[in-house]
Structure 1
Amino acid sequence: MKKHLDLLDLKILEALGVESPRNLNVVATKLGIKDPTLRARLKRLKPLIFLNINVYHTFIGLRKVCVFAKAILGREHLLFDSLKAHDFWLYVSRCYGAFEGCFALYAIPPKHESKFLSFLEHLKGKVLKKDLEFFWSTCFHTVNPTTNWFDEQSAEWVFPWNEWIEDIEKMEPPSELPYSLIDPVAFPQKADYIDIFTLKELEIDATRSLQSIASKLGVSLQTVKYHFDNHIIKRKLLESYQVISFPFSKMGSDLFFFVFKFPSQEDMAKFASSLLNKPFTRTIGKIHGQHGLMIQFDLPRKEFRRMIDGLSILSQKGSLADYWYIIQDKRFISRQTIPYKLFDKGNWQYEQEKYIKEVDAILESSVRPTLHY
């Protein structure tokens, strides 16, 4: 099986991100290819990509927080497991670079923010060093695959970093950023149980049929379709469809999570806008109440230092105040859906004592980690 993406593959993935994986007829028409051709390509691409959705957690009563956790030496694997003892984690990854530890993303019911911070405090001195960093954030904007920076003639990726820097300098400040990058003023609950269950199913597979979801819920197709059209779409509970691919696998690449700080809102907005169509950008989140961004990049190894050179130029010109980054360990990355089982009668059930007990149980039953290659 071919493991690398060609131009048509990239165009298909780009169109899926724009039109959604649920509208294959529209995607085929847009690309000027026949429906059987598209479906055959997708069948071949299936082992190489993930098609899911990005939930707009703000409108289902959840607040995002990113945790950068420094592990106590020798307890890295225990930190990784302990961070997942909490029901409201979405993404946990081992990391290295600025420190050895983990990156974790949670979506917390706002009225339980202080309890969540107490959960993190409970980890300190056991698996976690005291200099923990965490940032409350907006939701994360997904940047789906793009053919931008792909040279059709050579069928190779090109990385014109100097042009990128020049574009940022010449750019007019964008009138607005994607709504997922704007600080929310509240975290309203706009969903019911059918909405939450449907979102959970689409987080697993964006192409999952509404009929299969209706069968699992034990309700009619019409009921689920009504909720999908009139709640999930109209109320913007679904931020975007997410197409995850690995376009630089042929070149060798690493996953990075950067934290950027900017002198002004204008500088931050221009920088974020410049990355909305770049093939190495995965997700962008804004630090709540600050001129700061958290961005995941998938960067070819040979291009990493060239991007760092570009950031140095931006710093010299005064448009970037500071940044730091971690490198994700691809061997240890876990994801999970929203914890739908904890949604009851319009409220999220939060069980602090359970989380503390689970952490303690993990530490008591700890075993020596095995090597992973």
Structure 2
Amino acid sequence: MPPKFDYSDLRILEGLGKYGPRNVTDVARKLGMPAETLRKRLKRLTSQFFLRFNVNIYHTYLGLKKALVFAEAAPGYEDLLFNCLRQNDFWISLVRCYGMFEGCVGVFTVPNDHCVEFEQFLEEVVKLGVARKSQIFWCTCFQAIHSRCKWFDRKSQTWDFRWDEWIKKIPAEDTELPYTLVDPKDFPIKGDYIDVFILKELEKDATTSFADIAKMLGVSSQLIGYHYRNHIVERGILEGFEVSDFRFGTTTSNFFFFLFKFDSAEKLAKFASSLLDKPFVRTLGKVLGQNALYGYIYLPKPEFRRFVDSLSKLIRTGFLQSYSYVIQDLQKS
């Protein structure tokens, strides 16, 4: 039987996402546990499970606009479509998908003054016959969700998905969205070359030391530390951290790309607020200028139907207008 996370493991992962993995001693203090205990548990977790630590960048402050792209492949050209999309250097995430269509889902960060050219690139992929169609949704930056312990029963050490309770509470949720999910007024460039280089490395591995980054650039680690604290953090370019894991199991769960549509900004805000502390949500993003929300959802396979049934109930009550989704193909990503 494969190993499973227990409550303490989940609490540590939640803390590492919320406070960042760069200072384990500080995380241990905030969680109220000995630093050595956290280090030992983290060592065990990294040896037994897939774990990845990344930074979550507020790309708006680098003059970049986020694009969520759904591309349906022409039959027989699925791999070619994937390779075509990879040729565009603006992608930060690109995966194969299936479900409502066979194709790709990509997240691209495009310079604000090059959005038209990017749209033309996608149109050309369709004209070449590699894709049947493509949809692009310009989005806000993404809000990472750190919740791990909610809906996990500490006594039985099992998950308890309370779908009915969730949908009942949505109408009473807050209507104030996190700044990451608010349409930006502009796209200023607040970072320089060194800032972008640091972020590039931390986006691959948030635990990379300043000394290692300094060696890559041929500068001092003190200079890297200065840029990190006084530019990246102080100017708000770093939104936070993200921990990737398979807390529901590698073979017993799936990742989904959902698009939720609403008939009012208030309903969107309440729905988004209800997801900010849920363990089945990885990231959220709002579609610019629309009452639409993107969600990167992670669910145990038996819970997927219950989740969709809950969305159907929200549609029948008039709270949710519509939803669509595709499933991430982990074998082709």
TM range (shorter): over 0.9
Inter-partner Cα distance in structure 2 for 1:231 and 1:127: 44
Aligned residues of 1:253 and 1:299 also touching (Cα < 8 A): yes
Cα distance, 1:209 vs structure 2: 1.3
Cα distance, 1:30 vs structure 2: 2.9
Cα distance, 1:130 vs structure 2: 4.2
Cα distance, 1:184 vs structure 2: 1.0
1:159-215 residue CA offsets vs partner (Å, 9 max, x unmatched) = 0100000110233x33x2111111111111111011001101111111111122122
Tell me the equivalent position of 2:111: 109
Inter-partner Cα distance in structure 2 for 1:121 and 1:134: 10
Q: Secondary structure at the match of 1:108?
A: strand
Tell me the equivalent position of 2:15: 15
Aligned residues of 1:145 and 1:244 also touching (Cα < 8 A): no
Inter-partner Cα distance in structure 1 for 2:196 and 2:2: 37
Tell me the equivalent position of 1:343: none
Inter-partner Cα distance in structure 1 for 2:132 and 2:304: 30
Aligned residues of 2:73 and 2:133 also touching (Cα < 8 A): no
Q: Secondary structure at the match of 1:241?
A: strand
Inter-partner Cα distance in structure 2 for 1:296 and 1:132: 19
Aligned residues of 1:72 and 1:126 also touching (Cα < 8 A): no
Inter-partner Cα distance in structure 1 for 2:32 and 2:132: 56
Inter-partner Cα distance in structure 1 for 2:208 and 2:131: 42
Inter-partner Cα distance in structure 2 for 1:223 and 1:296: 36
Amino acid at match of 1:161: W
Inter-partner Cα distance in structure 1 for 2:133 and 2:211: 49
> How many residues matched?
331
Inter-partner Cα distance in structure 2 for 1:226 and 1:27: 22
2:35 is equivalent to residue 35 of structure 1: yes
Tell me the equivalent position of 1:358: none
Following superposition of structure 1 onto structure 2, how do residues 43-58 of structure 1 map, counting pairs within 5 Å? 43-46=43-46, 47-58=49-60
Tell me the equivalent position of 1:93: 95
Aligned residues of 1:71 and 1:79 also touching (Cα < 8 A): yes
Following superposition of structure 1 onto structure 2, how do residues 191-230 of structure 1 map, counting pairs within 5 Å? 191-230=191-230
Q: Secondary structure at the match of 2:96?
A: strand
Q: Secondary structure at the match of 2:187?
A: coil
Cα distance, 1:10 vs structure 2: 0.4
2:251 is equivalent to residue 247 of structure 1: no
Inter-partner Cα distance in structure 1 for 2:216 and 2:133: 45
Q: Secondary structure at the match of 1:303?
A: helix
Aligned residues of 1:99 and 1:326 also touching (Cα < 8 A): yes
Tell me the equivalent position of 1:370: none
Question: TM-score, length-normalised on structure 1?
Answer: 0.86
Aligned residues of 2:81 and 2:131 also touching (Cα < 8 A): no
Q: Secondary structure at the match of 1:278?
A: coil
Q: In structure 2, which of residues 131, 134, 139 is the aligned counterpart of residue 132 of structure 1? A: 134
Per mean C-alpha deviation after superposition, the further-off stretch among 31-40 and 67-76 is: 31-40
Tell me the equivalent position of 1:65: 67
Inter-partner Cα distance in structure 1 for 2:147 and 2:274: 15
Per mean C-alpha deviation after superposition, the further-off stretch among 217-226 and 240-249 is: 217-226
Q: Secondary structure at the match of 1:289?
A: coil
Per mean C-alpha deviation after superposition, the further-off stretch among 26-35 and 300-309 is: 26-35
Cα distance, 1:250 vs structure 2: 6.9
Tell me the equivalent position of 1:84: 86
Q: Secondary structure at the match of 1:318?
A: coil
Cα distance, 1:128 vs structure 2: 3.5
Aligned residues of 1:263 and 1:320 also touching (Cα < 8 A): yes
Inter-partner Cα distance in structure 1 for 2:177 and 2:267: 12
Aligned residues of 2:281 and 2:295 also touching (Cα < 8 A): yes
1:216-275 residue CA offsets vs partner (Å, 9 max, x unmatched) = 211122211111111000111111111111110077111100111101111000000000
Structure 2: tracts of 5 or more residues without a match: none
Cα distance, 1:3 vs structure 2: 3.3
Question: TM-score, length-normalised on structure 2?
Answer: 0.96
Q: Secondary structure at the match of 1:139?
A: coil
Aligned residues of 1:251 and 1:300 also touching (Cα < 8 A): no
Q: Secondary structure at the match of 1:132?
A: strand
Segments of 4+ moved more than 6 angstroms: none
Structure 1: tracts of 5 or more residues without a match: 334-373
Q: Secondary structure at the match of 1:74?
A: coil
Q: Percent identity?
A: 49
Cα distance, 1:84 vs structure 2: 0.3
Cα distance, 1:145 vs structure 2: 4.0
Tell me the equivalent position of 1:304: 304
Cα distance, 1:332 vs structure 2: 2.0
Amino acid at match of 1:222: Q
